Amino acid sequence: MSPSDNSFYEKGPLTSTFVVEVDGDPIGRFTQVDGLEMEIEVESIDEGGQNDFSHKLPGRLKWPNIKLTRGVTQSDNLVEWMRQSAGEDFDGNKNKLTRSTVGIVMLSSSGRPLREWQVEGAFPVSWKGPSFSASDDDVLTEELEIAHHGFRAESF
């Protein structure tokens, strides 16, 4: 294992939060990120005369939407970014979708950056606010879901 690999583990990747940036501007600290995944579709081709197997060939690369979850804050930046993709703000931009680069930076428990995912061609597709109940004392959260064209990972 190289020294850089040791430093990654020494900085504590097990307990972390995530800072999310849109086009380089921080939009908040998040406690959960889901959907950092990719999958290759597999095409099966049955060969004539050979009935005991199918040829498997790689197809398109699929990237599911990414869901970001954080505690509710006083900031409306998630909703504002969402409005740029539809409604009056979208109409005011001549119905032109502005895609962004989203940086998801994993921080160690001491606040040091450990790893970053650069999500390309991103735009918000869903925002979900907190659920209120007088009988619960759970932490209130909000969620933002983004569609994108893929990502690349970088270590610090």
pLDDT in tens, 54-71: 899 999 999 999 999 988
**Separation CA 146–CA 65 (nearest Å):** 6
**pLDDT tens, residue by residue, 70-102:** 888 888 888 888 888 887 777 888 888 889 999
pLDDT over 80 (residue 8): no
CATH architecture of 3-155: Roll (2.30)
Q: Span 128-141, mean pLDDT?
A: 87
Beta pairing, strands 66-71 & 100-107: unpaired
pLDDT over 80 (residue 11): no
The pLDDT value recorded for residue 19 is: 92
Q: Give the count of alpha carbons within 13 A of 30, CB side only.
A: 22
The pLDDT value recorded for residue 82 is: 86
CB 84 within 8 A of CB 95: no
* pTM of the shown model: 0.80
pLDDT over 80 (residue 14): no
Q: Which residue has the higher pLDDT, 97 or 14?
A: 97
In percent, the amount of the chain with pLDDT more than 70 equals 90
98: DSSP letter: -
pLDDT over 60 (residue 9): no
